[in-house]
Amino acid sequence: MDTGELFIVCSPSGAGKTTLCRRLLERFGDMRFSVSHTTRRKRPQEVEGRDYHFVDQATFDGMAQRGEFAEWAVVHGNRYGTSNAEIRKAAEEGRAILFDVDFQGAAQIRVRYPSAAAIFILPPSLGELRRRLEQRGTETRESLELRYRNALREIEAYPQFDFLVVNDDVERAVETLVGIVLAERARRTRRAAAAERLLAEAGVSRSANSPRAG
């Protein structure tokens, strides 16, 4: 599938990823949030189709069997997946896509789309991570403990990411994320056409092996 820019944002639960993704989407109107499917129960403030597509396990498994997911994984005991349809919609709209997935999903997306930029959000400390999880008040004690234990496994996966952002201050973290998106957009491979246009306009002939992409 031909796609535009792909940005993966990943972090342990409670590192503030949802807030940061929301801020990034506000900043970049030409970026689309990839709405995942999940078998997790909807939280009170969540909206079907905006935050997730909430489905039962049979529906999810049917989609997986039919190959409708670009990636999927079991996270904290529930299934989560990115449908191919989500990626297609962003491509059709000519928009960048933002994936909020766990590290297993991030790895699968990168296999399919090696040009995807993968960003990992780190909490400033484990104590702060636990505090944020508890403050959220949406989890049962059991789910909270599971999320906390899984946080260390997530952090262990940091070497597979291109960028690490420490969320010790939301404004600073947003600024860093915006910088990452702008820098990705300025890559030579994405901007080569602009340079080539100038050269063509000046009538400079180009050899077949000019550095267009790479």
13 binds ligand 5GP (CB under 6 A): yes
Residues 145-184: x where in contact with ligand 5GP by CB under 6 A, - otherwise, as a string: ----------------------------------------
CB distance 5 to 184 below 8 Å: yes
Q: Residue 109 CB, nearest distance to ligand 5GP (Å)?
A: 9
- Alpha-carbon distance of 112 to 156, in angstroms, equals 22
Q: Residue 196: enclosing H or E segment and its boundaries?
A: helix 188-201
Closest CB to ligand 5GP among 54 and 196?
54
Among 6, 7, 36, 177, the residue binding ligand 5GP under the rule CB under 6 A is: 36
Interface stretch with ligand 5GP, choices 54-62, 96-104, 118-126, 164-172 (CB under 6 A) = 96-104
Q: What letters, b where the CB count within 10 A reaches 16 and e where it falls short, cover 135-166?
A: eeeebeeebbebbbebbeebbebeeebebebe
At residue 45's C-alpha, the angle toward residues 29 and 165, to 5°, is 50
Contact status: 39 vs ligand 5GP (CB under 6 A): no
87, 90, 104, 181: which one binds ligand 5GP (CB under 6 A): 104
CB of 195 to ligand 5GP, least distance (A): 37
Q: Does 102 bind ligand 5GP (CB under 6 A)?
A: yes
Q: Which residues pair with 36 in a beta bridge?
A: 52
Sign of torsion over alpha carbons 93, 101, 24, 155: negative
Helices (H) and strands (E) in the chain, counts: 8, 9
Token duo for residue 179: 């910088």
What is the closest distance, in whole angstroms, from the C-beta atom of residue 25 to ligand 5GP in the complex? 15
User: Which listed residue (7, 33, 80, 161) binds ligand 5GP by CB under 6 A?
Assistant: 80
Give the footprint of ligand 5GP on this chain (CB under 6 A).
13, 36, 40, 71-73, 75-76, 80-82, 100-102, 104-105
